[in-house]
Structure 1
Amino acid sequence: MAATLQDQLVVAISSRALFDFEEENRLFETGDADAYVETQLRRIDIPAPPGVAFSLVKKLLAFNEPGHQRVEVVVLSRNDPVSGMRVFRSVAAAGMRVERGVFTQGRDPFRYLKPLGAHLFLSANEADVRQALAMGFPAARVATGSARAGENHPHEVRIAFDGDAVLFADEAEQVFQKRGLAAFQAHEKRKAELPLPDGPFKPLLTALHRLQGAGSQAMRLRTALVTARSAPAHERAIRTLMHWGIGVDEAMFLGGLPKGEFLREFEPDFFFDDQTGHIEQAAEHVPAGHVAGGVTNSAAGAETSERRRRSK
């Protein structure tokens, strides 16, 4: 019988998201590919340091138990196959079981997300992330300078999500960008009982919900919604989750307060947001990734956001 990843949570991840290859990447970006490969070969027996998404991946893999393969992690990298050897050796040295990898030697890797059936793609390459999102896959560009995850919750995977343009579509965010906060609040109050359209990360939240329901003796899952929304706009977000039949363990309606310090207290293994300003705040405290979609990441949205920032 052919192998299958059906009924598993599938995470595709680049080598730079999983491990700290920033020093090697600086060499690669000089254009000297041979020197890069030689460096990786010279360091082949030196395990790479953990990267931004290392804690998330290691904890998710801990959901796997003998006879119950619940999570599959696949390295999906622009690295060359030779450098891929160091990636797999670093994985083994970290005590993780990752068996599959695709190394494209500089070519676009995102086209392999479809045959993998990926529920999440993490990469340090923004162009790849944007392409993955356009194809309908939850994807985020890891902020490689992020703080690493803490160690206070070794048996609990903690994931935090922004709402609009991440879990939910950016319908409401478009109102805010075009007409301001008062119009946004009125719009959401008027549509409080109408579920928001699905956002790019709903498939991941759904897959995590299934993983949580599958049960594990070793690991638990805790999720949080961390949003700039405040009352009365909070109600539509909650009702949307209820409509989906998916709960989150914590919900923070911050009304525009900086998210970083709240995330520091929640201590997620990863945080997803569509706004670079929020990612910059969060990355000071926790691992974070930018979801490069929605109106705030369009040219018009970026211009509007900058005007609002300057007017404050």
Structure 2
Amino acid sequence: MPATLDGQLVIAISSRALFDFEAENELFEARDDHAYMALQRERLDVPAKPGVAFSLVQKLLAFNSGGAPRVEVVVLSRNDPISGMRVFRSAQHYGLAIQRGVFTRGAQPWRYLRPLNAQLFLSANEDDVRAALNAGVAAARVFPLSAHASAEHPHELRIAFDGDAVLFSDEAEQVFQREGLDAFQAHETARVLTPLPAGPFKPMLQALQQLQRSPGEQMRVRTALVTARSAPAHERAIRTLMDWQIEVDEAMFLGGLAKGEFLREFEPDFFFDDQAGHIASAAVHVPAGHVAGGVTNR
């Protein structure tokens, strides 16, 4: 009987999101993949340094200790198979139980998300992220030069989400972009009892809630909603989460304030937002990923 990943939270991640391959990537971006492969071959026995999403992956895999596996991490990469050897060796060096990978040597890897039944895809390649979002998979472009996660919470997985176009659809954001703040507030007040449509990251938050309800022996989950909304538009967001029967531990309704310093205090292992300006503010302080979908990214 073939193996199955049914019932597990499946995370697909590129090599550059998991490990620091920026020096090697300079050769890859130059389209000299033979030189890139030769360099990776030379460094097979040199563990790559942790990348921006390393802490996220390490903590997610910790939920598998002491019982049936609940999280599967698969490397899904434009790298070649030789470079894949170094990825697996680096994972083994750090004690990351990663056993599956797909390496496409420059071809689009996102098409393998469907057979993997992945709920999240993290990549440094914006085209792959956009393609994944269009295919209905939660995805974010990782910024390899983002700050790395704090080491202050070794037994707590912390993830922060923006609201509109991330957890929720971009329905309300379209009103804001088209008609401005006053129209946005009026729109949300008039629809306060109508749940917002789901955004691409709702299934991810639901999966985290399941981990939160039955935590592993070594790891807990703490989530935060970090949004530019303010009162009175905050209420529709909260009521939507209530309708979904999803809880978040913290909610920040910032009314347009820069998010970076608030995220610095929350100290997430990762933050997801659809607006490049918010990511720029956040990446100085925490690992951040750009959800390249919705009206602000068209």
TM-score interval w.r.t. the shorter chain?
Answer: over 0.9
Query: In the alignment, is the contact (CA less than 8 A) between 2:78 and 2:104 conserved in 1?
Result: yes
Quote how far apart the aligned CAs of 1:259 are. Answer: 0.1
Instruction: State the secondary structure of the residue aligned to 1:144.
Output: coil
Q: Tell me, in whole angstroms, the C-alpha distance in 2 between the residues paired with 1:215 and 1:18.
A: 24
Q: Tell me, in whole angstroms, the C-alpha distance in 2 between the residues paired with 1:261 and 1:128.
A: 29
Q: Deviations 1:53-106 (Å, cap 9, x if unpaired)?
A: 000000000000233201000000010001100000000011110000000111
**Structure 2 equivalent of residue 115 of structure 1:** 115
Q: Tell me, in whole angstroms, the C-alpha distance in 2 between the residues paired with 1:67 and 1:144.
A: 33
Instruction: State the secondary structure of the residue aligned to 2:60.
Output: helix
Quote how far apart the aligned CAs of 1:27 are. Answer: 1.1
Quote how far apart the aligned CAs of 1:215 are. Answer: 2.4
**Structure 1 equivalent of residue 281 of structure 2:** 281
1:23-172 matched pairs, under 5 angstroms:
23-172=23-172
Instruction: State the secondary structure of the residue aligned to 2:206.
Output: helix
Q: Tell me, in whole angstroms, the C-alpha distance in 2 between the residues paired with 1:212 and 1:9.
A: 13
Quote how far apart the aligned CAs of 1:28 are. Answer: 1.1
**Structure 2 equivalent of residue 309 of structure 1:** none
Instruction: State the secondary structure of the residue aligned to 1:63.
Output: helix
Q: Which amino acid aligns with 1:191?
A: R
Instruction: State the secondary structure of the residue aligned to 1:62.
Output: helix
Q: TM-score, normalising length from structure 1?
A: 0.95
**Structure 2 equivalent of residue 310 of structure 1:** none
Q: Which amino acid aligns with 1:288?
A: A
**Structure 2 equivalent of residue 231 of structure 1:** 231
Instruction: State the secondary structure of the residue aligned to 2:122.
Output: strand
Query: In the alignment, is the contact (CA less than 8 A) between 1:64 and 1:70 conserved in 2?
Result: yes
Q: Tell me, in whole angstroms, the C-alpha distance in 2 between the residues paired with 1:292 and 1:24.
A: 25
**Structure 2 equivalent of residue 247 of structure 1:** 247
Quote how far apart the aligned CAs of 1:274 are. Answer: 0.1
**Structure 2 equivalent of residue 22 of structure 1:** 22
**Structure 1 equivalent of residue 259 of structure 2:** 259
Query: In the alignment, is the contact (CA less than 8 A) between 1:165 and 1:199 conserved in 2?
Result: yes
Instruction: State the secondary structure of the residue aligned to 2:50.
Output: coil
Instruction: State the secondary structure of the residue aligned to 1:184.
Output: helix
Query: In the alignment, is the contact (CA less than 8 A) between 2:141 and 2:292 conserved in 1?
Result: yes
Instruction: State the secondary structure of the residue aligned to 1:224.
Output: strand
Instruction: State the secondary structure of the residue aligned to 2:7.
Output: coil
**Structure 2 equivalent of residue 302 of structure 1:** none
Q: Tell me, in whole angstroms, the C-alpha distance in 2 between the residues paired with 1:115 and 1:259.
A: 36
Q: Deviations 1:110-142 (Å, cap 9, x if unpaired)?
A: 010001110100000000000000000000000
Instruction: State the secondary structure of the residue aligned to 1:87.
Output: helix
Q: Which amino acid aligns with 1:123?
A: S
Instruction: State the secondary structure of the residue aligned to 1:158.
Output: strand
Identity of aligned residues (%): 72
210-219 or 236-245, which deviates more: 210-219
Q: Tell me, in whole angstroms, the C-alpha distance in 1 between the residues paired with 2:67 and 2:246.
A: 27
61-70 or 181-190, which deviates more: 61-70
Q: Tell me, in whole angstroms, the C-alpha distance in 2 between the residues paired with 1:101 and 1:80.
A: 11
Q: Tell me, in whole angstroms, the C-alpha distance in 2 between the residues paired with 1:65 and 1:5.
A: 17
**Structure 1 equivalent of residue 173 of structure 2:** 173
Q: Tell me, in whole angstroms, the C-alpha distance in 1 between the residues paired with 2:214 and 2:136.
A: 25
Instruction: State the secondary structure of the residue aligned to 2:225.
Output: strand
Query: In the alignment, is the contact (CA less than 8 A) between 1:24 and 1:39 conserved in 2?
Result: yes
Query: In the alignment, is the contact (CA less than 8 A) between 1:9 and 1:211 conserved in 2?
Result: no
| Gapped regions of structure 2 (runs ≥ 5) | none
Q: Which amino acid aligns with 1:264?
A: R
Instruction: State the secondary structure of the residue aligned to 2:25.
Output: helix
Q: Tell me, in whole angstroms, the C-alpha distance in 2 between the residues paired with 1:6 and 1:210.
A: 15
Equivalent residues, number: 298
**Structure 2 equivalent of residue 192 of structure 1:** 192
| Gapped regions of structure 1 (runs ≥ 5) | 299-312
Query: In the alignment, is the contact (CA less than 8 A) between 2:19 and 2:50 conserved in 1?
Result: yes
**RMSD of aligned alpha carbons:** 0.7
Q: TM-score, normalising length from structure 2?
A: 0.99
